[in-house]
Amino acid sequence: MTFDFPEPTRIAVNGVELEVFEAGRQHAGNPIVLCHGWPEHAYSWRYQMPALAAAGYHVIVPNQRGYGNSSRPDEVTDYDVAHLSGDLVALLDHYGYEDATFVGHDWGAFVVWGLTLLHPHRVNGVVALSVPYQQRGEMPWTEFLEAAFGPDFYLVHFNRQPGVADAVFEENPARFLRNLYRKNLPPAEPQPGNVMINIARAVAPSGEPVMSDSDLAVFVSAFESTGFTGGINWYRNLDRNWHLLADVDPIVRQPTLMIYGDRDMVARAPRLTEFVPNVDVVTLDCGHWIQQEKPKETTEAILKWLDRRGAA
């Protein structure tokens, strides 16, 4: 299917401006919001947008704060889950919607999970790709990850050494993104250091490209303009998010679809159904970049799930 990616609109929400792309505006009243991850862009949903619009949905795809031509606040704390979910609530308010189905990949999934906990009445369904529900546990997330994986684990490194990884990625955004957006990776021994910095500095990429050169150029152009700090600041709020979610009901009761890639490095959640009792699980033969590696299969899985629950 050919699809001309739509021109964006800048919308003022929650003290920032978001760059928002839409399809299916004629289906106002039936919204579905697609939330990208890191280091991504609204363009990562280019394959799903036309199919969802054709199925009768008003498809709303923001570049979230820190990305694309959306606002990039200076304060790290402006990227916590309260702000990120607040942006999505305000986006619904802008369009006059009480609630919507929210789809999130990677960090976008984490934000959608948090949105559902903090604002449950604004979410009528959840689709999460790659990143399952993260149970809160007794130890702040960065502390837990450091104890489990050490100080060089990239989520820990981003928090403990602010600015270091950002600068490395910004030395050569094209090389970093080319090396990162890969699929069918061969087995490899873990190397010491921050895996993301290692990827950014690798002379040659592994595996196969996830996208064409022209598609990759959209991402490269965006990050050459914005840098990477805004997106990495999402990681720098992991422990703040842990505190912000302390007193909310931890159970997601909305109908949910969890889509895993069976070669994704992100771990599955063994206790998913305890916290998300109304979940259906689909596994696709791919790595982390699920909706771009397997666009047809991802779109079909989402549409079948939406059809079963009678969302359209």
Q: Is 99 a catalytic residue?
A: no
What are the residues whose beta carbons fall under 8 Å from the beta carbon of 170, sequence distance 6 or more? 227, 228
Q: Is 74 a catalytic residue?
A: no
Phi, psi of 168 (to 5 degrees): -65, -45
Distance CA 164, CA 2 (A): 40
Q: How many Cβ atoms are within 10 Å of 168's Cβ, its own excluded?
A: 18
Q: In this structure, which amino acid lies at residue 150?
A: G
SS (HEC) of 96-123 = CCCCEEEEEECHHHHHHHHHHHHCHHHE
What are the residues whose beta carbons fall under 8 Å from the beta carbon of 159, sequence distance 6 or more? 142, 235, 236, 238, 239
Active-site pick, 78, 80, 87, 106? 106
Rounded alpha-carbon distances, angstroms, from residue 59 to 56, 84, 162, 294, 296 = 9, 19, 35, 20, 17
Q: Known catalytic residues? A: 106, 288
